[in-house]
């Protein structure tokens, strides 16, 4: 760890593959220090990563972040070893081919893509307050726009499952809703946050389990290289004058969320999980 706080530091969950890896390489190329929070190590065949690790500008903390025990240990280590953050990218995500539950007993998409980003934001808020940029980017998805309603009581244990358009979509909607509801509170402390759709990216959703059968033939046409998604997250972080804090940004535009009237109820649910199961 460097002896003094670096001028620009970003933490990225899921930084070792796909969009997270492309974002890591872009920020390193622009002189940033990057902290990865992820399940496995960075690839060993990327010269920019090897050089940054040797220079101390790329550091990693390993955890299965859907497991609260592992997440708690990793966050505690980060808070002990890091001095400040300018950017937090809650980017890690996963699709499944059937209902899967987290170690805490909740549906995995909701846990990983709705609850965990809130926990990470709250636990690392003090580091963000010591930084200069003070911005959180939550990776969402425009698949949430296919939803007409949100049944909050089924987020933890859904009664049915659909690939991409089921729990995955509702978890992204829940993420963007609490993002919207929390923004005014964090704005008082100088922190901005946005939820951003990176678009369809190869590697982010695997065709063998993440996509409905009827969408698989179009994978090559609809899904782009992960660098395209990384660009969308990057642009949202550095073009904030265009969007109020709390916005859901889709294709470069602030976009109205379905079920927006439920934003505060979603936030309250996730805050309760955090307070009851993690903070104490």
Using an 8 Å Cβ cutoff, are 13 and 38 in contact?
yes
CATH, domain 9-279, list 1.10.10.60, 3.40.50.300, 3.40.50.720, 3.40.50.11740: 3.40.50.720
CA distances from 192 to 22, 129, 165, 258, 272 (A): 23, 11, 29, 22, 22
Determine how many CB atoms are found less than 10 A away from the CB of residue 158: 17
Cα 280 to the center of its chain, rounded Å: 23
Per the structure block, which two tokens stand in for 51?
């050089």
Beta bridge partners of 38: 62
> Which positions of the chain have pLDDT values less than 50?
1-6, 205-208, 213-214
Per the structure block, which two tokens stand in for 112?
């990983």
| Pairing label, strands 33-38, 135-139 | unpaired
Identify the pLDDT of residue 212: 56
DSSP state of 41: P
pLDDT in tens, 111-168: 999 999 999 999 999 999 999 999 999 999 999 999 999 999 999 999 999 988 999 9
Strands, E, within the chain: which ranges? 9-13, 33-38, 58-62, 87-90, 135-139, 192-196, 248-250, 253-254
Identify the pLDDT of residue 239: 80
Identify the pLDDT of residue 215: 52
As a whole number, the mean pLDDT across the chain is 91
Predicted TM-score (pTM) above 0.85: yes
């Amino acid at each position: 760890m460097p002896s003094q706080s670096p001028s620009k530091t970003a933490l990225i969950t899921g930084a070792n593959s796909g969009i997270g890896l492309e974002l890591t390489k872009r920020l390193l190329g622009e002189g940033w220090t990057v902290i990865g929070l992820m399940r496995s190590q960075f690839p060993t065949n990327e010269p920019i990563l090897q050089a940054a690790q040797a220079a101390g500008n790329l550091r990693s903390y390993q955890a299965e972040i859907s497991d609260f025990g592992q997440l708690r240990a990793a966050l505690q280590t980060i808070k002990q070893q890091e001095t400040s953050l300018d950017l937090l990218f809650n980017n890690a995500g996963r699709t499944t081919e059937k209902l899967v539950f987290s170690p805490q007993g909740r549906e995995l998409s909701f846990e990983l893509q709705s609850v965990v980003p809130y926990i990470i934001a709250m636990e690392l808020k003090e580091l963000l307050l010591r930084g200069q940029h003070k911005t959180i980017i939550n990776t969402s998805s425009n698949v949430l726009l296919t939803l007409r309603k949100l049944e909050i009581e089924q987020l933890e244990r859904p009664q049915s499952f659909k690939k991409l358009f089921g729990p995955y979509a509702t978890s992204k909607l829940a993420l963007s809703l609490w993002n919207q509801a929390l923004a005014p509170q964090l704005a008082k402390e100088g922190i901005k946050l946005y939820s951003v759709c990176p678009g369809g990216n190869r590697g982010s959703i695997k065709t063998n389990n993440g996509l409905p059968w009827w969408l698989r033939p179009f994978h090559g046409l609809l899904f782009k290289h992960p660098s395209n998604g990384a660009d969308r997250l990057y642009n949202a972080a550095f073009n904030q004058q265009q969007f109020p804090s709390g916005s859901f940004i889709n294709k470069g535009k602030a976009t109205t969320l379905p079920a927006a009237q439920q934003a505060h109820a979603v936030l309250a649910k996730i805050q309760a999980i955090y307070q009851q199961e993690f903070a104490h």
